[in-house]
């Protein structure tokens, strides 16, 4: 059964990726959800494609997709979908964005698929079965200390108005690591932890569809995912700290500084 779920998620992610690539770099119809929070035609078209493929294959499952929200909430299985993670990048023609699809069973993520159409990279994980990039097994990095680690983070859409804007953590980490990247796609950040390209990642105020797939991919690649105190992570929680495991305690310490 899980193999069918995975096959369908991959098909949906690849087809959505074709749509995103086709519209990339063209003038888009853009609507503002907030002052700096956008939604483009491509988000909507990608989501329609993914939802239609999943609904056709598994009509009894629930679906939580970013742009349409949750329609029902009683099935054993729930799909969590970000049809375009990295909308700001996409709208500016910056080629870093992804499709993220996860499957939750009774509250737990059992499948994650993240597709980066620009690099044609598909990251997948099934709970208990390891993590893969284009069908090759991946592992987190072996970096042992924060001072030689490459980190990633992001900033929420309320950065201009909220005092919890992540700038304190950003300045604490920039002085203690080898560098920080703000690539603009939480799903890709997590997959880059899983594949050893980043060593650590933290972010606040993300939504379940941003982290559901990527957090499983990190765990299945041997990494650790918690909140900022080191407590178990839930994709419904407000904070995420993901790392190769080896620098996790150092990161928790830095996140405790005011
Ligand atoms: C955003 C990206 C970004 C993160 C934002 C997210 P979106 O998702 O993942 O990296 O910093 O907080 O909301 O809006 O492009 O799907
Ligand atoms: Ca997102
Ligand atoms: Ca999105």
Residue 159 sits in a domain whose CATH number is 3.40.190.80
| Predicted structure pTM score | 0.97
Same domain, 114 and 6: yes
Same domain, 130 and 8: yes
Query: Are the C-beta atoms of residues 123 and 221 closer than 8 Å to each other?
Result: no
Q: What is the pLDDT of residues 88-141, one digit of tens each?
A: 999 999 999 999 999 999 999 999 999 999 999 999 999 999 999 999 999 999
**Residue 139: is it exposed, middle or buried by C-beta count within 10 angstroms (0-12/13-18/19+)?**
middle
Containing domain of residue 162, as a range? 146-255
Same domain, 23 and 63: yes
Same domain, 226 and 117: no
Q: What is the pLDDT of residues 28-78, one digit of tens each?
A: 788 888 887 778 899 999 999 999 999 999 999 999 999 998 877 799 999
Of the three residues 83, 105, 137, the one that is the final residue of a domain is: 137
Pocket probe for ligand 1: among 33, 65, 82, 86, the residue whose CB has the most ligand atoms within 8 Å is 86
What six digits make up the tokens of 108? 């737990």
DSSP state of 232: B
Same domain, 103 and 122: yes
Same domain, 197 and 214: yes
Cβ of 210 below 6 Å from ligand 1:
yes
**Ligand 1 atom with minimal separation from the 37 CA:** 14
Number of domains in the chain: 2
Of the three residues 137, 154, 185, the one that is the final residue of a domain is: 137
**Ligand 1 atom with minimal separation from the 184 CA:** 10
CA distance 27 to 90: 11
Q: What is the pLDDT of residues 165-221, one digit of tens each?
A: 999 999 999 999 999 999 999 999 999 999 999 999 999 999 999 999 999 999 999
SS (H, E, C) 63-75: EEECCCEECCCCC
Same domain, 190 and 121: no
Of the three residues 109, 137, 165, the one that is the final residue of a domain is: 137
């Amino acid at each position: 059964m899980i193999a069918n779920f995975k096959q369908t998620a991959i098909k949906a992610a690849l087809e959505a990726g074709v749509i995103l690539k086709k519209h990339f770099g063209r003038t888009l119809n853009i609507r503002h959800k907030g002052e700096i929070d956008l939604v483009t035609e491509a988000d909507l078209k990608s989501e329609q494609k993914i939802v239609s493929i999943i609904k056709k294959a598994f009509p009894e499952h629930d679906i939580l997709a970013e742009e349409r929200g949750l329609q029902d909430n009683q099935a054993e299985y729930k799909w969590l979908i970000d049809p375009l993670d990295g909308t700001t990048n996409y709208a500016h023609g910056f080629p870093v964005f992804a499709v993220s699809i996860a499957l939750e069973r009774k509250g737990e993520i059992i499948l994650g698929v993240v597709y980066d159409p620009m690099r044609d990279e598909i990251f997948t994980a099934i709970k208990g079965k390891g993590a893969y990039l284009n069908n090759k097994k991946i592992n987190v990095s072996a970096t042992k200390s924060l001072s030689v680690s490459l980190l990633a983070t992001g900033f929420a859409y309320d950065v201009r108005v909220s005092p919890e804007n992540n700038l304190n953590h950003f300045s604490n980490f920039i002085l203690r690591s080898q560098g920080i990247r703000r690539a603009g796609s939480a799903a890709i950040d997590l997959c880059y932890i899983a594949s050893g390209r980043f060593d650590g990642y933290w972010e606040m105020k993300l939504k379940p569809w941003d982290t559901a797939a990527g957090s499983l991919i990190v765990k299945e690649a041997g990494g650790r995912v918690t909140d900022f105190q080191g407590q178990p992570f839930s994709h419904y929680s407000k904070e995420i700290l993901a790392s190769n495991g080896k620098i996790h305690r150092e990161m928790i310490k830095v996140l405790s500084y005011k």
